[in-house]
Amino acid sequence: MRILVTGGLGFIGSRLVDDLVALDHEVVVLDSVAPHVHAAEPDYANPAATYVRADVRDPEGWRAALPGVDAVSHQAARVGLGVSPADVRGYVDDNDQGTAVGLWCLHEAGFRGRLVVASSMVVYGEGAYRCAEHGPVRPPARAEADLAAGRFEPPCPACGRWLEPELVDEDAVLDPRNTYAATKLHQEHLGAVFGRETGVPVTALRYHNVYGPRMPRDTPYAGVAAIFRSSLERGEAPRVFEDGGQRRDFVHVADVAAVNVAALTSPEPVVGPVNVASGSPHTVGELASALASAMDGPEPVVTGGFRLGDVRHVTASVARARAEFGFEPSVAFADGVAEFATAPLRAPSP
């Protein structure tokens, strides 16, 4: 197959490119090597791929990359939760506008292959919860006054009791709670509408907390694993927000790439959202401690700090990925963290 990967020089995209090339697919990469993402030309670019250097917001880049393409993996995006409302234009431009331009160009080209869109678990907002009295419930956004007082667990909206977190599946109500989340959900919606109107099968892969080699380092927009590692490399203790009890699913980039390959090449396309996770939740505090131990660094410091855009617990059911793709995570948490402690990371942008 001839497969287009947007953002194919990024963290996840570059691993996907390597895996597709290893399977003898013909790969085209559309990537601008934007200075706010890359400090320098990546030294890991796979020489077997064809590269189109253009921004996804530029129709000419898509037009140059699309001829002969059988499938598209749209990985290009501005990532992270953002630092302030000042980030809103950048997220909307890169994620919403970039996706809209791509869909417009796919339609223009008469594309009828399959499209895989990189989404995120942030579209869920809080994960799934159960109240001992009221059963499954959806807690509202946590109040700033509660967070400042150290009350981090969301209460039952009916009775105020503490809730038991559960695994969230793809049918859950969506509730994006920051700018990045809102743009990822909009990407899903744009893709779904395009699929219905054209007959193109569109899969939205909802990544959970991805970590591994080539993550960006020393940036507030990076994943928490890279932020912790950067602190440890400076000899500083990782600083953990809240009480460190936030539950997440940390999934290795190798497993994320494997699900992407399956979504692009499986005998029958899968339409709709699919969670991409390890199926083995851990707390943020556990990640910080495991990484500190692997790097022989100082123990984490629990700060009690918080960000209003964060949620308390969000962990995933991977039942659909197993059923549709035969997916079984290959990298255990302990092994992945040990590898990540010394894995090459991407240099920060200026």
Predicted confidence at residue 219, as pLDDT, reads 64
Q: Which tokens go with 337?
A: 């963290």
Task: Let me know the angle formed at the C-alpha of 231 by 276 and 293, rounded to the nearest 5 degrees.
Answer: 75
Whole-structure pTM value:
0.95
Q: What are the tens digits of pLDDT across the range 211-231?
A: 999 998 866 556 899 999 999
Q: What is the pLDDT of residue 177?
A: 87
Confidence band of 124 (pLDDT split at 50, 70, 90): very high
- For 105, phi then psi, to 5°, come to -70, -35
C-alpha span between 16 and 10 (Å, rounded): 10
- Bridge-based pairing state of the strands 71-74 and 50-52: unpaired
Q: pLDDT (tens digit, 9 = 90+) per residue, 240-269?
A: 999 999 999 999 999 999 999 999 999 999
Distance CA 44, CA 34 (A): 16
In which residue are the tokens 């699913």 written? Answer: 249
> How do residues 311-321 score in pLDDT, each as one tens digit?
999 999 999 99
Helix (H, G, I), strand (E, B) or coil at 5: strand
Tokens at residue 126, please?
């809080």
Q: For 103, list phi and psi in degrees, rounded to 5.
A: -65, -40
For the ranges 26-40, 49-63, 327-341, the lowest mean pLDDT is seen at: 26-40
Confidence of residue 349 (pLDDT cuts 50, 70, 90): low
pLDDT at residue 34, as a whole number: 77
